[in-house]
A and B are shown apart, each in its own frame.
Chain A
């Protein structure tokens, strides 16, 4: 059982590590062409900076960059369905777990990164050989180039989502309710396991190999009241402020700290079961139906407009600490003798607290004539993304370029263009992307239609 937990933790980590730079994957070819940067005031900016709620819409202005609707043109699906005919899904190894060629990782990758757009330059698969050296008391594993994909430090995936926002506003005041969810998964290989995997260190007898992990998830709603508006200057040269006070009502919460692995015996291959599983997990949770987790927090944001320059900074979930009054605390260990997990209740009902991390978004846009530049830095959970881009108009035509930093801290580039006929625009955007095993960059082409 324990090996399944570890395997899936490792697999999820690697899949997460293989994701594109946050925001770079977009269904809008204009955004793709600028490396994931949004130049418009739409694009959900007001979710991360409440001051944008108090700013005037720009979509009615002539030559506006604000589209009312953007529809992706999924050219990549043509290739996909040519390779995977819909009528043959039942026999397709991509979808049929019983097929001998089924690889769940490939299927997961397709689900996480739907092939909407064309791969115009594919990354050549890397020839990566592994070498296993096995003896009665010896095991060495050399994973070759795969060692590069194994994180030396703790690695995690985390997200704070604002799932819905229902409300109404009047004269800058807005009242509503927002759904939220937060998850965070962190995993770190112990020193012995890390050396074994990353440095091809020989496995040692009587040694513990382990992964340390923690998982937290919580969700709920937050009724809120907020105000946003201009406090100085004019619309095109002024300071806008927004603030929202939230009352968090958590519906469910759970967190677990896991230390799991195995211990080798006196001799590496001494018997049919040469290792002893070893796992301890401390878990706290308040399930659906218990009393709500409650807390107070808020968002605040500022936008300064000075002619062609627009600067914004917004903070979310300031002070958002929730108190859960009916938390159950358990400790789970692997009982080697019984070959099963054993769970002990530490406390059937106690009070615990959880936090929503502060998120921030800083953005700048500078428009001069037909050229608009922009940049943003956003942190949501543990993920920080950086995007820089620009757009130049030539009558109905537009040229775009941008750069973003991906999860492996490598720069990736976007470029593209578009043409606009009155209220309809057709855009194409290209972005580069890489993998952990290769220094090559692939290029994907996105296409979309926008209605202005």
Chain B
């Protein structure tokens, strides 16, 4: 695939076009393949129980476009919070970094906390632009993504499962192949 994409870039550059490259990345497909599209939540969180998934490596463009300028990164996400008991608030955050230790940084995106109760399913959604300081990460050949579910109980204990149903990134950049 690397060869294929290098060829594509050479083709496009050689064809004297003047434009932008847009990458529509189905991040959910990478999470789903690793069976990390669901995250249990519980509050209060017992010691030693993680509220995050293991970091996931996402391939962007295998050739890398370090010289390119990333114009925008847009995220669209949707989740179902399948509550199993209790009442509270549940939030969801997405972490992005060039290194595997993605949770060392503040989250890149956060879904505002959603109210959950009983055995109901609540929906959360996100439609946002990435801050400019993190955009250069998307000129790399690959990056790491993590997610965290944060639960706060008003009638403890609250527990359930956050199930990601869609997570898409749209990256638009001014390419610079050579």
Chain A interface (Cβ within 8 Å of chain B)? 2-3, 6-7, 10-11, 14-15, 18, 100-105, 125-139, 141, 143-146, 149-150, 193, 196-197, 203, 209, 261-262, 264, 267-269, 273-275, 277, 435-437
Which residues of A sit under 8 angstroms from B32, Cβ to Cβ?
136
Contacts of B49 in A (CB 8 A): none
On B, residues with C-beta under 8 Å from A are: 1-8, 10-26, 29-30, 32-33, 59-61, 67, 175-176, 178
Residues on B with C-beta less than 8 A from A145 are: 17
Min Cβ gap A349→B in Å is 35
Select A10's contact among B10, B26, B60, beta carbons within 8 Å.
Answer: B10
A206 to chain B, nearest CB (A): 13
- The closest CB in chain B to the CB of A104 belongs to B178
**Interface-centre pick from B1, B19, B22, B33 (highest chain A CB count, 10 A):** B1
Which of B16, B20, B22, B59 sits near A18, CB closer than 8 Å?
B16
A contact residues around B11 at 8 Å (CB): 10, 14, 143, 146, 149-150, 197
Q: What are the residues of chain A within 8 A of B2 when measuring CB–CB?
A: 3, 273-275
Contact between chains at A134 and B6 (CB < 8 Å): no
12 inter-chain pairs at a CB distance below 8 angstroms, sorted by A residue, are A105-B14, A125-B16, A126-B19, A129-B21, A130-B12, A132-B22, A137-B33, A149-B11, A197-B11, A261-B3, A264-B1, A269-B59
Contact call B60/A143, Cβ cutoff below 8 A? no
Q: How far is the CB of B31 from the nearest CB of chain A, in Å?
A: 9
- Determine if B15 and A14 form an interchain contact, defined as CB atoms under 8 angstroms apart: yes
**Closest B residue, CB atoms, query A108:** B14
Q: Is the CB of B18 within 8 A of A125?
A: yes
User: Secondary structure of the A side of the interface?
Assistant: mixed
**Are A275 and B10 touching (Cβ within 8 A)?**
no
- Extra 5 A-B pairs, beta carbons < 8 Å, given A14-B11, A103-B13, A132-B22: A131-B22, A132-B61, A134-B25, A136-B32, A146-B15
Taking a contact as CB atoms under 8 Å apart, the answer to whether B24 and A269 are in contact is no
Residue among B15, B33, B60, B175 making CB contact with A437, cutoff 8 Å: B15
Are A131 and B24 touching (Cβ within 8 A)?
Answer: yes
Chain B residues closer than 8 Å to A203, beta-carbon distance: 1, 4
Task: Give chain B residues whose Cβ lies under 8 Å from the Cβ of A2.
Answer: 3
Whether A275 touches B8, Cβ cut-off 8 Å, given contacts A136-B26, A435-B16, is: no
Q: Are B178 and A105 in contact (CB under 8 A)?
A: yes
Q: Which of B1, B8, B13, B67 contacts A269 (CB 8 A)?
A: B1
